[in-house]
Each structure stands twice: as C-alpha cells, then as structure tokens.
Amino acid sequence: MANKIFAKKSLESVIAESAENEKGLQRTLSAGNLIALGIGAIIGAGLFVRTAAAAGEAAGPAVTLSFIIAAVGCAFAGLCYAEFAAMIPISGSAYAYSYVTMGELVAWIIGWALIMEYALGAATVAIAWSEYLNKLLGGAIPYEWCHSPFESFTDSAGVHHSGIMNIPALIILLLLTLLLIKGTKESALVNAIIVFIKVGIVLAFVGIGWQFIDPANHTPYLIPEGTAPVVDSAGKIITSYDGVFKHGWGGVLGGAAIVFFAFIGFDAVSTTAQEAKNPKRDMPIGILGSLVICTILYLLFGHVLTGVANWREFVDPEKGREASVTYAIAEYMTGYGWLATAVTVAILAGFSSVILVMLMGQSRVFYSMSNDGLIPKLFSDLHPKFHTPYKANWLLFIFVGLFSAFVPGYVAGDLTSFGTLFAFVLVSAGVWVMRVRRPDIPRPFRAPLVPFVSTMGVVVCLGMIIALDIQTLRVALGWMILGIVIYFAYSQKHSKLHK
C-alpha cells in the first residue's frame, strides 16, 4: 500500500509528456505573455480589496510591512517555482512537481489544495467584481441580488438587508469561461490589453494620491493594543482587535496572511508551462518578473491608500468596506472624481484578467490530474477545434459559480490563501528533495542558496498559515480530509501509474 500511494513519476516520463503533439495543448505563449499573465493574476482583488481589508482588520497603516513579509515568502517560493517550471515544463504546476518529488498521495493532496487556490480565488475575485460593478452603477443593483445569503447589514435608515444570490459574479464567470474555451492565445491577448490599462490606473492613483496623504492617518503605524472595535449603526460589532493577530506586530503578520492572497498569480504562470514557446527560458522570467513588478506597485499603493483615508473606515459597511479605493478617492481626493470612475472601470477590467488566469490555471491542473487518471477523463478532453480543455472549463464554471453566488467573498479569500500557502510549502520543500535525490538533472534555472531559500520558503509560508483565523483552518482541514477520502475511494484505483 505504502509503495503505491507514495509511488513517484519519473522525471523522464514527465518531460516526455510535455513534448508537443498535434493533439495536445498548443505552445503559443512568449515570455512577455507569461509576465502579463502573472501581472494579470496578481493585480486584482488582492490589491484593490484585500489591501483595505488587511489594513482595517489587522495591520492598520502597517499593511505595507505586511506586504513586505508576504513578498519575502513569495520570493523564496517563487525562486523554487522558477527552478521547477524550467526543469519540468508541464501543465499542473505544484501538483506535477510533487508527483515527481514526493509521490502520488502528496501530489493528490496538493492538487486538491490548488482547487482552493485557483477555483476559490476566481470566486473571490468574481464577488469583488460584482461589488465594483454595483459601485460604478451607483448602487443600482439591489443588495439582495449582488450578495450571498450569509451577508446582511442595517443601513442608516434602520432598514435590514439580506443577500439572496450574487448574479453579476455569475455573469462575468460565464463570459470568461467562453473566452477560455475559444483559446489560450486569444485569452492571453485580452489579458495583455487589460494589464496595460490597470497598471496605468494604479500608477495614476499612486501619483495623484500622494499629494493627498494625511500623515495623521499613518500615526500610530501599528494598531495599538486595546483599540475599540468598529461597529455599525445598529451597534453590531463589525471588527474586533482583541486577537493576537489583530493588533501590533501580530496584526502585521495577520495582515500578511490576508494580503498574501494579493500575490497568488505568479505560480499560476507555471500551470501554463506546456503552452510556453520556450519554457526553460521563459518560465523563470514570467514567474519572477511578474512578482517583482507587482511587489513594487503594492508597496506604493498600500502607502497611499492608508494615507488618504483612515484604516478604520475600510471595515465600516457604510463607508469604505466595499469599493474602498473609489471611496477614498471620492471622499478625500477633491477634484478627481473622474479618477474614481476610471479606477472602478480599470478594477473591473483587472478583476476580469485575474479570474481569467485563475480559471485557466485550475483547468490546467485538472488537465494534468486527469491525464494521470486521478480524476475522470472528461477533465482532459480537448475541444476538437480550439484544443482547450473545454469540459473542465464548464465544470469549473459550475463549481466556481455556485461558490461566488452563495458564499461571502471574505470566506473564499481566506481559503484561497490557505491553498496557496500550502502549495508554496510543498514546492519549496520539493526543490531541496530533488537537489538531494537527482543532482544530475540539468537545471536551466537554479534557485540560489538552496537549502536556505527552500527552508525559508517553508518556514515563512507555514507562519502565515498559522496566522489565518481558526475558522478558516477548520474549513481547510475538512476540505483536505474530503480530498483524502476521494483519493482512496476513486483516484488510487484509477491511477495510470499503478496500472
């Protein structure tokens, strides 16, 4: 039994699988496409929504320090991803790497965790897309039809509102699913256009907003112990700062766990390795290049946002809790109402690119797992004309659509962070394992200072997992237990490696 569940795929067989053939995925992506895909996935809900959430719930103005901690963890993991992606240029990302280094059961577990990263990541951003669309339309969409049944609030007039279903989130998911089915090249082109627009708007917000920074909003820089909770008009507590990860340096680490969601995306680049023109050269460029560019933008953005508006306003449901960036512009940046509208439009476009890359990444993980027999064959069926895993795209739309329509965004976001961090831990460990077991394998890109880099990737990411709230960890544990049950009930029996 142990020999079976920990059986490993040989590196040679994996590389052979990545060889292009006329029936497989097509190699159409350049290094520039990969960097754009990375930026497209990274800059979105994490920047425009999670930044304000981390500041308001845990870190305060020190959310910039939270970004630095998260970026350091990502840098260690990113170097490990780059080594693997250049060495094993195949769809599947961390799943495929774990299959080679740690065996089938670990690969299954990480593949199951990646569903939390990509699928729930897409759901989180779809929910944020719905919020900003309603902001752009001046609140024209009734609260009931753009929020989940688990969300409610009492407005200043004393009227209680409860969500029913998030319809706009379903609409954007459907449109992007259709684009993905059409083709990878077309999807990458649309993504590149969107990335150009949203990066331009981010730079405009930073440049213009800098002159509106109020130094008082950055004092104190850390949330003091004993800070009073934020309450709504009915006196209900919205956010409390009593927990160890809710104030001070603990709050900075808690904020890092929240904004870590903002960095997922560079690893999504690795899921497209089988569609890169020159993966040995282009994958490290795409992964590390997108990570560096986005980290710089995040630090600037977080500093300006928390300087323009007070961090407590970002958790107030009647102020800046939803669409916090446009709120800050409209409320404090006099004379730049046009920028608020431009930011909202850019955010909607940016969120679209994030969803696009997340759905693409998940479908490629499914494609790889299906080819190995661990999930049904239909997940790897390619469209006869477009050569895309269209059945996986449709099933993913159903799953993500249900989640985005009926589950609050903050729940999906924290679970996404868990899935991402868990994948980073195993990839970081896997690089060291491969260095010890197969030092002879050619490595077009070598992560420096291994085992220090790989060890720090494990330690920092485990630290941020611990900093997630206990309810998120419980749900994640339940999800992983369900995955193990499915493995022994179905996947182990259908594994092609065993046959």
pLDDT for 21 equals: 44
Which residue do the tokens 């990375």 mark? 38
**What range defines the domain where residue 191 resides?**
2-494
Would residue 408 count as lying in a domain? yes
We report the CATH number of the domain holding residue 46 as 1.20.1740.10
**What is the average pLDDT across 21-44?**
71
Would residue 133 count as lying in a domain? yes
Q: Alpha-carbon dihedral of residues 51, 57, 58, 59, nearest 10 degrees? A: 40
Q: Alpha-carbon dihedral of residues 440, 441, 444, 448, nearest 10 degrees? A: -60
Would residue 321 count as lying in a domain? yes
Q: Report the 10 Å Cβ neighbour count for 7.
A: 15
> pLDDT tens digit string along 116-149?
778 888 888 888 888 878 877 877 888 888 887 8
> pLDDT tens digit string along 313-327?
888 766 656 667 888
User: Which comes out higher in pLDDT, residue 68 or 4?
Assistant: 68
pLDDT for 192 equals: 82
pLDDT for 216 equals: 93
Give me the chain's average pLDDT, please. Answer: 82
Flag whether pLDDT at 48 surpasses 80.
no
User: Which comes out higher in pLDDT, residue 416 or 216?
Assistant: 216
**Phi and psi at residue 29, to the nearest 5°:** -100, 130
Give residue 22's pLDDT band: very low, low, confident or very high (50, 70, 90).
Answer: very low
Flag whether pLDDT at 404 surpasses 70.
yes
Say which amino acid occupies 160: H
Flag whether pLDDT at 46 surpasses 70.
no
Would residue 499 count as lying in a domain? no
CB 284 within 8 A of CB 86: yes
pLDDT for 482 equals: 93
Would residue 272 count as lying in a domain? yes
What does the alpha-carbon distance between residue 101 and residue 8 come to, in Å, rounded to a whole number?
7
Flag whether pLDDT at 20 surpasses 60.
no
CB 467 within 8 A of CB 100: no
Q: Which of 16-25, 89-98, 357-366, 456-465 has the lowest mean pLDDT?
A: 16-25
Flag whether pLDDT at 485 surpasses 90.
yes
Give residue 64's pLDDT band: very low, low, confident or very high (50, 70, 90).
Answer: very high
What is the pTM (predicted TM-score) of this model? 0.76
Which residue do the tokens 């969409």 mark? 141
What does the alpha-carbon distance between residue 243 and residue 228 come to, in Å, rounded to a whole number?
12
- Residue 254 DSSP SS3: helix
User: Which comes out higher in pLDDT, residue 52 or 263?
Assistant: 52
Would residue 28 count as lying in a domain? yes
Going by C-alpha positions, the residue among 434, 425, 417 that lies closest to residue 455 is 425
Q: Count CA atoms closer than 13 A to 59's CA, side-chain side.
A: 28
Would residue 85 count as lying in a domain? yes
pLDDT for 412 equals: 67
CB 55 within 8 A of CB 67: no
**What is the average pLDDT across 280-288?**
82
> pLDDT tens digit string along 337-349?
888 888 778 778 8
Phi-psi region of 265 (alpha: psi -120 to 50; beta: other; left: phi over 0): left
Please count the structural domains in the chain. 1
Would residue 251 count as lying in a domain? yes
Give residue 155's pLDDT band: very low, low, confident or very high (50, 70, 90).
Answer: low
